[in-house]
Chain A
């Protein structure tokens, strides 16, 4: 059965800290891995990763994929309170459906 596992389940940090969120997967017909940020509403797209070893960056966020070891990490540097959210990892497999992990709940305190 296809599955996506995220860790940690929750994380509490202070502003300015750097965090690393993990996502491992076991799926057939892997096509891509996506990261979303969810703040009590629609998940908003962050990154799509398809190739190993190529880092994607957007401001203080960055992500990389390892297709050999079947995992991805999402890094957030110099965290701010506005980064508080649930971060979802999803893998696109087979007929383009997304298989989601349960998410990592990040809380950033001032």
Chain B
């Protein structure tokens, strides 16, 4: 059983370029969450998606950041025109989440983005 998979594991971009981070949830999980971890800080929620729907994007910066979880394929977190402050580890988590039940979120290994 494969867990949450993220790629790439490390990504280096120059200021102004685009970064695309991919997340494949645990097989059978239809709920995906993205978190950002800055150096020496805790994880901060960014966005919660179900297949083809954004449920909660209250943690996403209003500009340059977008996320999708299409019917087929992985979830994508896209950062346009990256700046040095975007350097962080980006973690994806998935859960089966059935309404009324409690479900822990399973985390992927993260993508470490470095902006030069």
CB within 8 Å of B: which residues of A?
4, 31-32, 34, 36, 41-45, 48, 50, 88, 90, 92, 94-103
Listed from nearest, the 8 A-B pairs whose CB atoms lie closest are A100-B42, A102-B42, A42-B107, A95-B56, A100-B43, A97-B45, A42-B109, A43-B107
Say yes or no for B67: interface residue by CB 8 A criterion: no
User: Does B7 count as interface, using CB distance less than 8 angstroms?
Assistant: no
A95–B48 touching, CB < 8 Å: yes
Give the number of chain B interface residues (Cβ < 8 Å): 27
Q: Which residue of B lies closest to A103 (CB)?
A: B42
A95 contacts across to B, CB distance below 8 A: 48, 55-56
Contact B107 A96 (CB under 8 A): no
| A31 surroundings in chain B (CB, below 8 A) | 102
Cβ A45 vs Cβ B106 within 8 A: yes
* Residues A96 and B95 in contact in the complex (CB < 8 Å), given A34-B104, A42-B108: yes
Chain B contacts for A102, CB-based, 8 A = 41-42
Q: Measured between alpha carbons, how far is A48 from B3 in the docked complex, in Å?
A: 19
Q: Is the CB of A41 within 8 A of B109?
A: yes
B102 A98 Cβ-Cβ under 8 A: no
Are B59 and A88 in contact (CB-based, < 8 A)?
Answer: no
Instruction: Tell me whether B45 and A99 are in contact (CB under 8 A).
Output: yes
